[in-house]
């Protein structure tokens, strides 16, 4: 095996070559793409989006004049130690100017996050949306509950399918026939509450 040795000085130079600096930030075009590592999740957006609100902390982190520049990870991505799900909602607002979520917990988190990044307009709109949702609890909560219910039903259906497939495979190995060959008229009659005549036809109990 090829052994690779690298001095600490060389490692520092290597990392510096992959690390964005104030100079590279200053040279960025507003439409240039920026890669972010937010809580371990990778985002890509335009530089313009990050500095869209000039007086915000978010814009300051990517300003060459700011003394607290944004940190970077080992891959050279700008690193933010924040919740990626909430950050995604925040970026969506910066793109479209609309608070898209109606989820109460997400709205609370969005208020905290926007306050942290000093996005005052987003904070106000998130508070307004939260008050609207709380005034009309069932209109939005029912939608969220239905989506969760459908998701659970899909999981249960997939579990049933997997179980049937497993039983079918076991039946096939033991008898050489599929599971469905054991579902006889007598089984169907028993499960449906119907009676089975001598001619093997089913008759409804009247």
How much of the chain, in percent, has pLDDT values that exceed 70?
60
Sort strands 41-46 and 33-38 into parallel, antiparallel or unpaired: antiparallel
**Token pair listed for 17:** 């070559």
Query: Strands (DSSP E) along the chain, which ranges?
Result: 33-38, 41-46, 71-72, 78-80, 195-196, 202-203
- Given a cut of 80, is residue 174 above it in pLDDT? no
Each residue's pLDDT tens digit, 110-128: 999 999 999 999 999 999 9
Each residue's pLDDT tens digit, 2-30: 444 555 555 444 444 444 444 445 556 66
| Residue 169 pLDDT class (50, 70, 90 cuts) | confident
pLDDT recorded at residue 158: 86
Query: What is the torsional sign of CA 102, 108, 109, 115?
Result: positive
pLDDT recorded at residue 139: 56
- Given a cut of 70, is residue 198 above it in pLDDT? no
Query: What is the torsional sign of CA 78, 84, 90, 91?
Result: positive
Distance of alpha carbon 85 from alpha carbon 87, whole angstroms: 5
| Residue 45 pLDDT class (50, 70, 90 cuts) | very high
pLDDT recorded at residue 64: 72
Which one has a higher pLDDT value, 151 or 15? 151
């Amino acid at each position: 095996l090829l052994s690779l040795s690298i001095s600490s000085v060389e490692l520092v130079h290597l990392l510096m070559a992959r690390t964005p600096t104030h100079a590279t930030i200053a040279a960025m075009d507003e439409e240039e793409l920026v890669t972010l590592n937010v809580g371990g999740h990778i985002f890509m957006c335009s530089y313009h989006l990050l500095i869209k609100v000039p007086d915000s902390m978010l814009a300051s982190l990517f300003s060459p004049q700011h003394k607290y520049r944004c940190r970077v990870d080992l891959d050279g991505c700008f690193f933010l130690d924040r919740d990626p799900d909430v950050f995604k909602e925040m970026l969506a607002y910066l793109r479209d100017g609309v608070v898209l979520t109606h989820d109460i917990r997400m709205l609370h988190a969005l208020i905290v996050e926007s306050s942290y990044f000093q996005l005052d307009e987003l904070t106000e709109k998130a508070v307004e949306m939260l008050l609207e949702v709380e005034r009309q609890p069932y209109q939005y909560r029912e939608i969220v509950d239905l989506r969760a219910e459908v998701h659970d039903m899909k999981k249960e259906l997939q579990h049933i399918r997997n179980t049937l497939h497993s039983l079918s495979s076991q039946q096939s190995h033991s008898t050489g026939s599929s599971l469905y060959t054991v579902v006889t008229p007598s089984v169907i009659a028993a499960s449906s509450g119907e009676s089975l005549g001598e001619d093997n036809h089913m008759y409804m109990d009247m």
